[in-house]
Chains A and B, each alone.
Chain A
Amino acid sequence: MTITATVTPQKPWKVSRRQQLPSLGLLIGAAVVTYAIVAMTPMKGKLAYLLLFFILGTTFQLALSWFKRGRAAAADTVAAAVMMSGAFIVFLPVASLLTTTVTKGLKGFRPQIFTHTMAATSYSDPLTSGGLIHAIIGTLFLIFIATIISLPLSILTALYLTEIKGRASGFIQFLVQAMSGVPSVVAGIFIYAALLLTTNLRGSTIIGALPLAILMIPTVTRTAQEVLNLVPSELREAGLALGATQWKTVATIVVPAARNGLITAVILGVARIAGETAPLLFTLGTSDKINWNPFSGGQNALPYYIWSGLRDGTEGGINRAWTGILVLLILVLSLFVSARIFGSRKVK
């Protein structure tokens, strides 16, 4: 007869309910004392509450752990409290950004914004007229063109850096790094200087897409590079052993294996440029209607629309800007989520 015993993992270090009780009590006590102090002294406002609660709560816990376990434990408690509050402070603006965008954006978020343009409306008009479909179409155009330009360049560069590893790769790596640090406004004015300043060309969709492509290339290249590095080298060796040329191996084995990752790279690149405003100010021209021709005539885009609303400064303009932000945020977030989904799939 064999004895089978299943071992259940024991966690003797785990904090039990009973041990948590005193510190919870202390926190409640701190909250009560905070409330009392704020009520009695001239201090007021949320800031005072938070600050006092933090100081009192930490002091109480400090006293408890010092009393029970000595000085080192007390320092540990304080450090934990400080870090927790640091993370909490970081979390606050994100929450505030999201909630204000949704609440303020919903005011002007009605079906007509997807069917109307600003052709017959000025920014200060009531929110019941006008819409931003022209800006949505403009943004889609910009994303599409910028992707077409930058996708082959960046994937090929990434392939060169990971597969061929030629003599120039150090220099190219340096260039990609340098490009990734280019501020967006600089990309914008350089395209302006190169194409618009001395020629008769005027801002249009395709010219507006050029600085975006410059900004997109380094993002896509770096992500693609990381993804390609994850492809196991056995796959490459197997391909070469079967007699395929290097090009064939790359095209039929490495790239398909990394497909999901490459898609993620592109999505991240698009998310990077979708909200870029500064370069568009120099290169896009402007338009209040839908412009289907990417080669001539001004164009509008969501960030540009938001910018105009903000510059307008009237209540209507600001409200329109919030609505624009909401639409843009939905676009960026859905890109972000889809990048996550593609990125989390395993490389086959």
Chain B
Amino acid sequence: MSSLLILTLIGLFLSIRGFQAFQTQGLGFITKVDWTAGVDGGKDTFGLGAMIIGTLVISAIALVIGVPLSVLTALFLTFYAPERIKKALVTLVDLMASFPSILFGLWGFIVLMPMAEYWAKLIHKYLDWIPVFSMPSPAFTRSPFIAGVVLAIMIIPIVTSVSREIFGQTPLDRIQAAYALGATRWAMIKAVVLPFGASGVVGGAMLGLGRALGETVAVYSVLNIVFKVNFHVLYGFGGNIASMIVGKWGEASLTESKALLAAGFVLFVMTLLVNLLANYIVRKTVKTGK
């Protein structure tokens, strides 16, 4: 089984190469928030902090918007939708998962951006008193909020299909028991399905998070990437490790390329941890469900 060998080699190679690149930068690489390539023998400072925070902020927005919608859709598909609509919608959601990310990027840039800007203005108008929605000066274009909305749409199919699978495995006897006790459909869902599927939904959300963390092209198209920490989600700049790599790559020197490789390694480790945890949770739920 030579294939196993090759597979293992790929895995090991990726980690070793990445780790080497990481080592040359030291620990400050993660914590520092400043990224300047020294010009003509000047000093290089590579700190990924701002981008790590940016990635987390965007992914958090995507989860906050995407997960509730996905759970609602999954519940609707499992317990409410008539058979015909259900089939069509399931196909549609699967289809959505197969859209290439650059399509989301282009669509996000051209179609969604004007709309999302309008929503951002509404949020800003009425919810200004919440710190994350405030902004230093009015600049609504290309903000983390818009990137988050695009990512939310991208993770919806994953989270929906995982949640749907888990909800579909709710033991029938418990559902019938709830109905027999006179529960309405909503009461049944609240009492039986949600407690049963909760950890599965968490797992699905983490799978979605894994995708959101590593998304490159779509984020690059809609986000104004600036190397600063930005917690004002409506304010027009932010960052994301993956798109930063693409953005900086063109004019990077050899040392900077290596730093970008290390950034790739950090991203790899982040997504790996999230994905493994997600898989673990989903599996555990599926097993106990049977």
A residues lining the B interface (CB < 8 Å): 47, 72-73, 75-76, 78-80, 82-87, 89-91, 93-94, 96-97, 100-101, 104, 152-154, 156-157, 160, 164, 166, 168, 172, 174-186, 189-190, 192-194, 197, 214, 217, 271-272, 274-278, 281-282, 303, 306-307, 310, 318, 321-322, 325, 328-329, 332-333, 335-336, 340
Contact A172 B7 (CB under 8 A): yes
Partner of B7, one of A175, A182, A307: A175
Question: Would you give the shortest CB distance from B277 to chain A, in whole angstroms?
Answer: 10
Contact B264 A189 (CB under 8 A): yes
| Total CB contacts across the A-B interface at under 8 A | 223
**Alpha-carbon gap, A182 to B156, bound state (A):** 19
The verdict on A183 contacting B271 (CB below 8 Å), with A189-B261, A310-B106, A325-B106 known, is yes
Contact digits for B97-129, partner A, Cβ 8 Å, 1 yes 0 no? 011111111110111100000110010000000
Partner of B111, one of A73, A100, A172: A100
Q: Main secondary structure on chain A at its contact with chain B?
A: helix
Contact A86 B73 (CB under 8 A): yes
Most buried by A among B98, B119, B215, B245: B98
**Alpha-carbon gap, A84 to B183, bound state (A):** 20
Q: Main secondary structure on chain B at its contact with chain A?
A: helix
Query: Could you list 28 A-B pairs, sorted by A, with CB under 8 Å?
Result: A47-B118, A72-B183, A72-B184, A75-B184, A83-B72, A84-B76, A87-B81, A93-B112, A94-B92, A96-B107, A97-B107, A100-B110, A157-B4, A164-B1, A181-B271, A183-B216, A186-B268, A193-B21, A193-B261, A217-B7, A274-B100, A275-B99, A277-B100, A278-B101, A282-B249, A303-B102, A310-B102, A321-B106
Question: Would you give the shortest CB distance from B278 to chain A, in whole angstroms?
Answer: 9
B residues lining the A interface (CB < 8 Å): 1, 3-4, 6-8, 10-11, 13-14, 17-18, 21, 68-73, 75-77, 80-81, 89, 91-96, 98-107, 109-112, 118-119, 122, 153, 156, 160, 183-187, 189, 210, 213-217, 221, 242, 245-246, 249, 254, 257, 260-261, 264-265, 267-268, 271-272, 274-276, 279
Contact A183 B249 (CB under 8 A): no
Contact A332 B107 (CB under 8 A): no
Contact B275 A181 (CB under 8 A): yes
